[in-house]
């Protein structure tokens, strides 16, 4: 089974692969409210079209940015949904009450999704063209409301990370956004801590 990863670059310059685990979680990586604005990747409608080509919507069938039609208003709606879901998802991982306003934004956006159709010649599954911004909004919203209902949203165990993901591992024990990033930093810290305590223990 293919895993759909995003390559993220942190403010310290390190790039690493991150599998958010679902489409709505993937959308969270494109930016967000408040301090997450520095990560904003969706400035213009074309940015969303380009971003989608690498998203897990392409797991069903590949498409190009030219197959996507996004208006300014649709881009605003997608970013509003994303930012609302940040608030809901963060409340979920904290075990706090979910923000009612955020849930309203999710619930109001589930109407339309990209339409799967079969190619009559090849029988391959594909998306009806064009894929619209409203359909993208609906795909993210449907995934988000399912996550709210079923749970499974986790935060990376690194205190200074903040990335959220769906744990899709069979064992259900995923701790890190990425082994390359926070998993490795944890190993290095644990190793250092052992070496710092060993000489003390020998005295």
Using CB under 5 A, list all residues that contact Zn ion.
Answer: 156, 158, 161, 163, 177, 182
Angle at CA 104, nearest 5°, toward 100 and 109? 155
Nearer of residues 142 and 174 to Zn ion, judged by Cβ:
174
- Closest separation between CB of residue 163 and Zn ion, Å? 5
- Closest separation between CB of residue 153 and Zn ion, Å? 14
Cα atoms found within 13 Å of the Cα of residue 66, Cβ hemisphere only: 0
Nearer of residues 92 and 163 to Zn ion, judged by Cβ:
163
- Closest separation between CB of residue 142 and Zn ion, Å? 26
Nearer of residues 127 and 165 to Zn ion, judged by Cβ:
165
- Closest separation between CB of residue 155 and Zn ion, Å? 8
Burial letters for 179-196: b for 16+ Cβ neighbours within 10 Å, e otherwise?
A: eebbbebeeeeeeeeeee
User: What is the Cα–Cα distance from 30 to 85, expressed in whole angstroms?
Assistant: 12
Question: For residue 103, what are the contacts with CB-CB under 8 A and spacing of at least 6?
Answer: 88, 148
Nearer of residues 8 and 61 to Zn ion, judged by Cβ:
8
User: What is the Cα–Cα distance from 146 to 115, expressed in whole angstroms?
Assistant: 19
């Amino acid at each position: 089974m293919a895993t759909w990863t995003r390559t993220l670059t942190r403010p310290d310059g390190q790039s690493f692969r991150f599998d958010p685990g679902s489409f709505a979680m993937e959308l969270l990586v494109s930016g967000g409210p408040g301090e997450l604005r520095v990560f904003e990747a969706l400035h213009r409608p074309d940015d969303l079209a380009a971003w989608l080509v690498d998203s897990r919507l392409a797991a069903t069938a590949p498409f190009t940015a030219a197959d996507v039609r996004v208006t300014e208003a649709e881009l605003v709606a997608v970013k509003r949904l994303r930012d609302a879901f940040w608030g809901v998802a963060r409340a979920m991982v904290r075990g706090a009450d979910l923000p009612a306003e955020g849930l309203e934004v999710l619930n109001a956006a589930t109407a339309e999704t990209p339409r799967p159709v079969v190619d009559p010649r090849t029988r391959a599954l594909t998306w009806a063209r064009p894929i619209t911004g409203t359909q993208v909004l609906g795909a993210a919203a449907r995934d988000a409301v399912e996550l709210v209902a079923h749970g499974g949203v986790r935060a990376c165990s690194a205190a200074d990370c903040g990335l959220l993901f769906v744990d899709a591992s069979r064992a259900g024990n995923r701790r890190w956004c990425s082994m390359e990033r926070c998993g490795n930093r944890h190993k290095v810290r644990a190793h250092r801590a052992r070496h710092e305590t060993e000489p003390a223990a020998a005295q």
